[in-house]
Amino acid sequence: MRTLLLHNPTAGNGCLSADSLEAALSRSGCLVTACSKHDDSYKAALGKPWDLVAVAGGDGTVAKAARHMPDRNVPLALLPIGTANNVAHSLDLLGEAEEIAANLQGAPTRPLDLGSVKGPWGERSFIEAVGLGAFAPAITRSDPKPPFEHRIRLGREACARRLPRRSRTGLR
């Protein structure tokens, strides 16, 4: 099975290498070509004829792959190594990325829809979320990327600081 591995080497805590994922995918019968999501050639790689595209990263890497895959009939295998992995969790895809990769043969598939949003920047597809209201300023004013083990907690705290506080007369 001709497989593209799109890997984000900085996802999560950055400790899972493309080599270890390639080895796990090979155990599942895949002939793997690896590409980093940080490499500008990833879009061209996604345009080639694959039997499977395996995405090792977080929600952003999954979204990037899904948006740029020209052939929606090619299965997209999620190998969750990001911080939150919301897309994988919403699909009940639990477990370690290497274990999932090694057991892809005969794994069930399900459809995954892309949303579309239009704004002053144009139109863009999304897979997980669209930020509106208080979320946009919270993200643009957030500090540099914190250490892995603190990202989700600090992100929630940053959003909470940007949300209006309740008073006796309602929202301010």
Token pair 């599942």: residue: 28
- Give 89-108 pLDDT, tens digit per residue: 888 888 888 889 988 888 88
- Per cent of the chain over pLDDT 90 is 33
What residue type is assigned to position 119 of the chain? G
Instruction: Kindly tell me if the per-residue pLDDT of 172 is higher than 60.
Output: no
- Give 27-51 pLDDT, tens digit per residue: 999 999 999 999 888 999 999 999 9
d(CA 141, CA 150): 17
Taking the domains of the chain in order of start, what are their residue ranges? 2-112, 135-165+167-171
Read off the pLDDT of each residue in 1-21 and give the average, rounded to a whole number.
Answer: 88
Confidence of residue 169 (pLDDT cuts 50, 70, 90): very low
pTM attached to this predicted model? 0.74
Just give the CATH number of 2-112. 3.40.50.10330
- Give 115-168 pLDDT, tens digit per residue: 888 888 888 888 876 555 665 666 566 566 666 566 677 777 776 776 666 543
Which conformational region is residue 93 in: left (phi greater than 0), alpha (psi within -120 to 50 degrees), or beta?
beta
Please indicate whether residue 70 or residue 154 has the higher confidence score (pLDDT): 70
